Amino acid sequence: MTADQSVASQLAIYVCPACKGRLRQEEGMLLCPSCSQTYPIREGIPDFVREELSHSKDPELRRMTAIDRMARIYETKLWYPIVLNIYGGFRSPSLAQLISIVSRKVQSAQGRVLDVACGPGTYGRRVASPSKEVFGIDVSMGMLRQGAAYTAKEGIANVHFARARVEALPFEKDFFDATLCCGSLHLFTDTVMALREIARVMKPEAILAVFTFTAGRGGILKYRRVREWSRREHGLHVFELPEMEQSLAASGFKDFQPEVSGSILTFSARRQSS
Ligand SMILES: [Zn+2]
C-alpha cells in the first residue's frame, strides 16, 4: 500500500457524525451523500466539528479555546501535575501512575480502542500496540496536531486522530473493543448523553476505563463550596460514586469498579450486552 492508500483506508472507517451514513472521500474532505454535509481534512486530520472554538455558541466549546493553546505544555510539569495536586490532593497519583492504572484496565482488550477527548494522545499513545489500534477524538485541533506530532516523533503507529464531539461520534455502532476517557468526563455538559453515545460505538462487554474527579478526601475538591464554584465557573462536574454508577447504568454500562485516591477517581465498567 502507498502512503496515500493507507491514509484513504484509515479515513474509510469514519461515518457521518450527523446521520451515521457512509462517507465519500473527495479532494481534501469527506462528504456525506445522505445529508450532504462536508467535513474538511486538515493536515491528515478529519474535522467533524467544523467550528472555531472561540466563536462557538456552545459554552462547553468556548471553554476549550484556552485548552487549544495549551497543547504544548499539557504533558509537561507545567500543567498536569499541578492540576492533579490542586484538585486531587497531594497524595494523588502522578501522570505516569495514572497512565499505568488506566492502561491496566484495558490491558486484556484487543482490537480497536476509542480515546475520548484524547488531548495529544496522552493515554492513547501509551496504550497503542500491534494488537491495539487507537482512535483519538477531541474538539481541540491544537491538541490533535500536537498528538500527531508526538506519534510521528515517537514512531508510534496505530494511533489515528479526528476532531469530533463526544455527543456525535463519527463511528458506526458496536465498533470498539475498549474505550478510554481520561480527564474529561467531568467537563461534558450532559454526562448520560455522552456515555450513551460512547456505549453506542462499543461492542457488548467491551471495557470502558475512566479517570475523573470525585468528592474525595484530598485537594480542594473535598470542599463543597469549591465543587459548587468549579461547576458554576468552569463547568467542572465532580461526581459522587452512587451518582456515577447510576449514570453508567442509565447509559448502557454495568460492572462499575471504582478506585479512589484523594479526589481522583479511576474506574472501569463494561458495556451491557444488548
Ligand atoms: Zn450524514
| pLDDT in the model for residue 42 | 92
Separation of CA 15 and ligand 1 centre (Å) = 8
Gap from CA of 212 to ligand 1 centroid (Å):
32
Confidence at residue 199, expressed as pLDDT on a 0 to 100 scale: 98
161-171: average pLDDT? 97
CA of 21 from ligand 1 middle (Å) equals 5
Cα 214 to ligand 1 centre (Å)? 37
Mean pLDDT value of segment 251-269 = 94
Q: Cα(14) to centroid of ligand 1, in Å?
A: 11
What are the phi and psi torsion angles at 37 (to 5°)? -75, 145
Q: Ligand 1 mean position to 198 CA, how many Å? A: 19
Q: Is pLDDT at 23 greater than 70 in this prediction?
A: yes
pLDDT at 235: 75
User: CB–CB of 122/113 below 8 Å?
Assistant: no
pLDDT tier for residue 259 given thresholds of 50, 70 and 90: very high
Residue 274 scores a pLDDT above 80: no
pLDDT at 4: 65
Query: What pLDDT sits at residue 114?
Result: 98
Looking at residue 168, what is its pLDDT? 96
Q: What is the pLDDT of residues 75-128, one digit of tens each?
A: 766 566 667 776 667 677 888 899 999 999 999 999 999 999 999 999 999 999
How far is the centre of ligand 1, averaged over its atoms, from the C-alpha of 56 (Å)? 21
168 alpha carbon – ligand 1 mean position (Å): 11
How many degrees, rounded to 5, is the angle at CA 129 between CA 255 and CA 3?
130
Does residue 5 have a pLDDT over 70? Answer: no
Note the pLDDT of residue 236: 79
Q: What is the rounded distance in angstroms from the CA atom of residue 235 to the CA atom of residue 140?
A: 17
Rounded CA separation 133/53 (Å):
28
Is the Cβ–Cβ distance between 16 and 32 less than 8 Å?
Answer: yes
- Of 67-81, 142-156, 179-193, 229-243, the least confident: 67-81
Average model confidence (pLDDT) for the chain?
88
248 CA → ligand 1 middle, Å = 28
Instruction: Give me ligand 1 centre to Cα 37, in Å.
Output: 6
Distance 163 CA to ligand 1 centre (A): 16
| Centroid of ligand 1 to alpha carbon of 7 (angstroms) | 21
The pLDDT tens digits of the residues spanning 196-229 come to 999 999 999 999 999 998 877 767 777 788 778 7
- Cβ contacts of 48 within 8 Å, gap of 6 or more: 14, 17, 39, 162, 163, 164, 165, 168, 170
Q: What percent of the chain has pLDDT over 70?
A: 88
CA of 175 to the centre of ligand 1 (A): 18
- All three cell numbers of 88, joined, read 486531587
Give the range among 47-56, 144-153, 256-265 with minimum mean pLDDT: 47-56
How much distance in Å is there from the Cα of 1 to the middle of ligand 1?
Answer: 29
Whether 181 and 208 have beta carbons less than 8 Å apart is answered as yes
CA of 176 to the centre of ligand 1 (A): 21
pTM above 0.95, yes or no: no
pLDDT over 90 at 230, yes or no: no
CA of 36 to the centre of ligand 1 (A): 6
Residue 82: the pLDDT is 67
